[in-house]
Amino acid sequence: MSGPVGSPWPDGAYGEVISPSGRRAYLAGQAAALAQRTQRWATDLASREDSPVDSERGHIAGRKGTASWFLIADSFEQYLESTGSWPPATSKPARDFEQLLLLQGADLEASRRREHELQATIDRLLQDRAELLTTIESMSQVVAALSRTSKALPPAG
């Protein structure tokens, strides 16, 4: 299927969208709603290396921020069926407004993830800085001690 990534899948019954590879997929927020779980559950399901669900990561057309998780619809539906949760009791978003809210939820989750990544980088850089300051202090003490030692020695000659 061709079309902008993240746009509604034609005739999608449960809020499916077009994935980065052009396949029918659910954004993590919609997948969570269909499974009656949290968005974090859907994101974790999509991002696990041993996940029973095929997924893709990509940017939604026209959206800024980090990439969103797309759970491939066929795989996700089979997984829910195997757990007795398919078909869902809910229906697709009735209005474009509801779809927009789902997209914003995906953006929010991606922003939170990016914030955690940036905080980890900041923490690592602060630790590196502290180690460098300790090294500089130690080297300054060594230089000072050598300077005192060289002044105490008689001149060569």
The model's pLDDT over 13-69, given as tens digits with 9 standing for 90+, comes to: 888 999 999 999 999 989 998 988 898 999 999 999 999 999 999 988 888 888 899
What is the amino acid identity at position 67? A
How far apart CA 107 and CA 66 sit, in angstroms, is 8
Token digits of residue 122: 């900041």
Q: Is the pLDDT of residue 90 over 60?
A: no
Q: Is the pTM of this model over 0.75?
A: no
- Give the total residue count for the chain: 157
Least confident of 62-66, 104-108, 144-148: 104-108
**Cis-peptide, bond into residue 4, ω within 30° of zero:** no
pLDDT of residue 75: 94
Phi, psi angles (nearest 5°) of residue 135:
-65, -45
pLDDT score of 94: 53
Residue 132 phi/psi, 5-degree rounding, is -65, -40
Encoded tokens for 104: 């914003």
* pLDDT mean over 131-150: 90
User: d(Cα 147, Cα 149) in Å, to the nearest integer?
Assistant: 5
